[in-house]
Structures are given as structure tokens and as C-alpha cells.
Amino acid sequence: MRLRRIGIALVTLVMVCRIHICLSENITRGSFPKGFVFGTASSAFQFEGAVKEDGRGPTVWDTFSHTFGKVADFSNADIAVDDYHRYNEDIQLIKDMGMDAYRFSIAWSRIFPNGSGEINQKGVDHYNNLINALLAKGIEPYVTLYHWDLPQALEEKYQGWLNPQIIKDFATYVETCFQKFGDRVKHWITFNEPHTFTVQGYDVGLQAPGRCSILLHIFCRAGNSATEPYIVAHNVLLSHATVADIYRKKYKQKQRGSLGIAFDVMWFEPATNSIDDIEAAQRAQDFQLGWFIEPLILGDYPSSMRGRVGNRLPEFSKSEATLLKGSLDFVGINYYTTFYARKNSSDSLVKILNDSIADSGAITLPFKDGKAIGDRASSIWLYIVPEGIRKLMNYIKQKYGNPLVIITENGMDDPNNSLISIKDALKDEKRIKYHNDHLTNLLAAIMNDGCNVRGYFAWSLMDNWEWAAGYTSRFGLYFVDYKDKLKRYPKDSVTWFKQFLTST
């Protein structure tokens, strides 16, 4: 009988360790500095659905997702995971996990259906209700003002981000948000991943609005990959600086909030120890993070970009540079993966592509000598390299003066496999290990290396519509049953986070 009890106890211990990754032997919430914020995240277009309800106007992603061949599974986000109607239920899921904060985005076209003009009060009411519901549960809202869903009306009116007129319209929209929600929202993120939507939308054409000139226009009907990404990025940066100036002059003192951007950043490892590859890794970073953060910290683009892009890279006037410099209260970082970088020695490839990717003079891949840099998640680009987050934090500390950093996204996806039962799909040990290992490296960056990191947001709250991947990819902590009324089920990672967030 005693042996049987010992056996049962061992089995129980194994099960607990399977779910909790033997947390007692690893990090705890108490390991992190006092006041460190833990949260989870979403975006309006991927979660809300209700695309034609309560006055919402169409966006470039509505148009793109309804264009044949643009989304892997031919789906669209008309319903997504119906968070527009179920936000109270979804907020309870956040509360159940013990998260401190929730990052979500406001849909510009719910506030201004045409991008400008009359305010849509029903849109304002929805976000007021959402914010109030979060605060009632003790959850701090972190609000993203632009998560890729440009109102279609502005794309048709003047080509959206390609026209400097958008700076004024964006400022009007954002100031409206400050006025309507700023008494309760203390953390603003102006843009999510400007590098991603700039390159994917205006260079390679794989995301909305789908503009490019590479590959002989096989995928794109219009665009210029050699110039448009730089024009878009320029207007995005000036838009951020404009609204940061408005906030500081008119709202910050009373509302006492802060304002930053969520940058998408891979870490790049030189493929070899050669000077060529070390320099290539730096250029790759300049054309990714540096492109957007250096104007906001130093007042201009990286010198490597100026030298390689030449007159295709727009210039900032002295007044614009002044406006840009110092316009970040915090640096948001969306980190998922690490790639190798090596020098691109092919002049012919550069001439053929003639775009921002080729301009960097670096080839970035997750393989070296036929071997992957890490275990792969479901997405073809997402290889699991937890130590990359620590190296990236140290890079930001050393290069940019140790600014306040918040990890605004970190996570991994599983495939949406219809052959796997829900019971088995909830067993996401790989995701648990991903978060545990990244948090372990992040903690080392903070405590051992002195990096100024104050928060961590897991992407994402639940499985959702994942842009060009549609519903083929599951990033969620909660499983969504797309076949049965979008029911939500906690994965084992929810149990892990519950345990982690109550550990000392």
C-alpha cells in the first residue's frame, strides 16, 4: 500500500512538473523587481470582429483579407474571435490568470469611420466600456493607437501613409483618444511594429495595403519597393512625434501618462566571426530597429542607412529633428526570434530586388550550415532562441543609453491542426517552456546586466485571426474552438501563468 502511495505521489509530481515546469526550480514572480508589470495582449482587427457594426468604417485589412489569395486559409476577420461582443467574458479570463495589465488596440475606423470628419460616438462608447470593465477588475489598460488597421477611406483619398496629410489626420484621431480616454489610460503605444507594416505592406506586398514593385508585380498591382517603405516610415515617425508633442503640451501634466512605440525586433547573430558578417549583423539591426528608434532618440536615421540608401531616404528638417528627438517615454519591444546575419556579396541580387531589404547588404536566415538556429514554432519565421532577448536588451542598453523598456509582445504559435483533439491541444508544454526560458533570460538582463526593463506582455490572450496566416496559427494562452461558437478553453500555459504570478 505504501509503495502504491509513493507511486501515486511520483506520478502527481511528474504531472505538476509537466504543467508548471517544476517552477520552484526556476524563476518566480518574486524574482522580478517590485512594480514589474505582467500582462497579455491583443489587437482590434485580430480579435474584435463586428466589422460592420455600430458605425465602424472599413480598413485596408478588410480590403486585403477579402482579396483572393492574400490569406493562407482564404479566411477573413469579419468575426475574428468576436471580442467586440465578448469583451467582458475575455476580461474575466485575464483576471483569472492574475495578470496586471492588458494591451489592446483601438480601431481608428471605429472612432472616425472615414479616418477623419465626424466622431462615431458608438465607437467611443465601446472603448469607454472596455476600459471601465478592465479597471473594475483591477487590470491596467495599455492602449495601442495604431495596430495596422488604417481606415480604407484614407487609403482611397490620398494613399494613406504615403501622403504627409496623414500626419494631421492621425494627430486628430489620437488627440480625440487622449480627450475621451486619457483620464483612465496611462500607457499609450502610438504604433505597433512600424517596421513590419512598412516593409510587409509597401516593400514586399505581403500585408495590407499590398504594395510592391519587386518580382515584376506578380503579387502587387502598384507600388515602388525602392522608395515607398522610406516614405511611409518617415510619415509614421513624424506622426508619432507630432502626437507626442501634443500629449506633452496639453495632456501629460493632468493625465500623468506615458507614450511609446512597440518595435518589432529580431536579434541578429553574425553567421561567422568575420568582420564582414559582424558588420552585416549591425546593418541588419540598423535597417530594422535603428531605422525607427534612432530618429526618436538621436534625431536622425542611422548613418549606415544614409550611406546606403542615399537620396531615396527622406531628410528631416531641423525643426522635425527637434520634434522627434526624445519623443519616447518608453521603448516597447516585440521579441519573438533570432536569425543569423551574413554579408550579401551578390550585387546582382541587390539590383534585382532594389528594395529596403537588399539595401541593408545583409542576408538574414534562421539556418547556418544546414542547421536551424533553434527549435521551430508553427510560423516559418519563428525559431525559439530565448537567449536572444537578453542579448537584445543589452544591445539597447549599450547603444541607446538604457531607456525604459517594456516587452510589449513575446510568444509562440502552434499549428491549427484539426486532427488534434481539444484536450491534446491544451497541452502546450512547448509554450510554457518558451515563456519560462524567455523570462529567465529577461530576468538575467535586468538583475545581472542592469537593463531597465519594467514589463512583459505575453502574446496573445487567446488564439485569433493571425493576419496573412488567417486561422492556421494559434498563439493564444486560451484555445478558441472555431468549430463550436468560439468557446474559450484555458491551455496548460494559463495554469503555468497562474502559478507563476502567485509565486514569491
Q: How far apart are CA 190 and CA 144, in angstroms?
A: 6
Whose cell is 514572480? That residue is 29
193 is catalytic: yes
Q: Which listed residue (140, 193, 228, 294) is catalytic?
A: 193
Residue 401 · residue 326 · CB < 8 Å? no
Residue 335 · residue 383 · CB < 8 Å? no
Q: Which listed residue (48, 320, 409, 466) is catalytic?
A: 409
| DSSP β-bridge partners for residue 268 | 339
Q: Which of 97, 119, 3 is nearest to 41 (CA)?
A: 97
Helix (H) or strand (E) holding 9: helix 2-20
Collapsing DSSP to helix, strand or coil, 237 comes out as helix
Residue 158 · residue 150 · CB < 8 Å? no
Collapsing DSSP to helix, strand or coil, 172 comes out as helix
Q: How far apart are CA 103 and CA 41, in angstroms?
A: 4
Collapsing DSSP to helix, strand or coil, 372 comes out as strand
Q: How far apart are CA 36 and CA 29, in angstroms?
A: 9
Whose cell is 496566416? That residue is 469
Whose cell is 465578448? That residue is 86
Residue 111 · residue 124 · CB < 8 Å? yes
Please identify every residue annotated as catalytic: 193, 409
